[in-house]
Amino acid sequence: MLRTDDRHYLFADDSGESQMLIRHSILTSALWMVATTSMAATERDYISMAGSTTVAPFATAVGERFSQTSHLRPPQIQAIGSGAGLKLFCSGAGAETPDIAIAVRPIKPTERETCEKNGVKDIVEINIGTIATVVVQAGSGSKIANLTRKNLFLAMAKEVPDPKNSAKLIPNPYKTWKDIDPTFPNTKITIWAPAEMHGTHDIVINQIMLAGCQQIDAMRTLTGNDPKTLVATCTQPREDGVYMEFKDYGAAIKEVQANPTALGIMAQNQFSQDAGLNPIAIDGYEPSAPSIAHSVYPLTESLRFYVKKAHLSSVTGLQDYLAELTSEAAIGTNRGYLSAIGMVTLPLADRNLARASVADLTAH
């Protein structure tokens, strides 16, 4: 964006020559401003991206390596959530819009429609790795060794089958974990989950609530075997203060740390190992690197980069950044520096596919 001073000038006389010089100066300045503004609309000397708070640390780490080797400015990254980032990304194709959207979920059809409407037509998706979404509790709490997604649905949903008469839906009556399963601790249910601005919110809704709901046979009958009604009922969280959504991960971590009975749902890289939070096994599987890599652990997120093809020729360093992003040094097994900060690497075939996507981008 062009910035100008707000100065006022006083001239000593109003002779014709002076007035001509003034008019010439004003015209020259105006032409210069038009030219530079036009350049600013098509060129930028830094990479701009926006989106997922989960992906942002990985994008930043790549940016630091890229800046060190290229001696260019590191990317400017707005960590505002997958949905908010994609909204900015799809707002247009000019230099004032992000070159890359980072997300932990696929772009939605409605978002693609918005992109198309606003002239963002050639978008390439690059998947660099995976990370787990985990359910955590403070180490000082009464430990729940294992939860199923069915358990979590019964704890989180607005309406559930009546435990006394499964032929009808009722407002969620469960107050303690022991109410759901007699083997669980007799502790109050309190769950902190990411708000809709975060891509992890989609994991909560679809991979936890919907998947857990579908494990209850009565739910299909209760929703008239209508898929749309089933989804709508299964994905409606309760509103009685048991299930709460957060915008800021740091605040949520503090809430879980301060309440030994509370559970938090978040991406695994959002808290440090010394935070005193313990992940709970889901459906019998711990969120270990092997279980995530082999898609055995059920709650995983892909680290996605959506790139505007039109910006490759106008944004300095964008091609080089993408090459670094998909290099073996970054995303390779064992020695990749992104695995050191929590990313689970993809199989070699998928890593090659990411590099092929970048090669295809830069070849045109």
Name the CATH superfamily for 48-131+302-362.
Periplasmic binding protein-like II (3.40.190.10)
Per-residue model confidence (pLDDT) at position 15: 39
Q: What is the Cα–Cα distance from 263 to 243, expressed in whole angstroms?
A: 10
Calpha distance 149→208 (Å, rounded): 5
Residue 276 CA to residue 257 CA, distance in Å, equals: 7
Residue 27 is predicted with a pLDDT of 38
pLDDT for position 225: 78
Q: What is the pTM of this model?
A: 0.80
| pLDDT of the chain, 364 residues: tens digit per residue | 333 333 332 323 333 433 433 343 333 344 334 433 433 444 788 999 999 999 999 999 999 999 999 999 999 999 999 999 999 999 999 889 999 999 999 999 999 999 999 999 999 999 999 999 999 999 877 788 889 999 999 999 999 999 998 889 999 999 999 999 999 999 999 999 999 988 899 999 999 999 999 999 888 888 877 889 999 999 999 999 999 999 999 999 999 999 999 999 999 988 877 788 999 999 999 999 899 988 899 999 899 999 999 999 899 999 999 999 999 999 998 789 999 999 999 999 999 999 999 998 865 5
State the span(s) of the chain assigned CATH 3.40.190.10.
48-131+302-362, 132-300
Rounded Cα distance between 129 and 193, Å, is: 23
DSSP conformational letter for 209: I
The architecture (CATH level 2) of 132-300 comes to 3-Layer(aba) Sandwich (3.40)
- Cα→Cα distances 194→233, 265, 316, Å: 19, 7, 35
The span from the CA of 253 to the CA of 264, in Å, is: 7
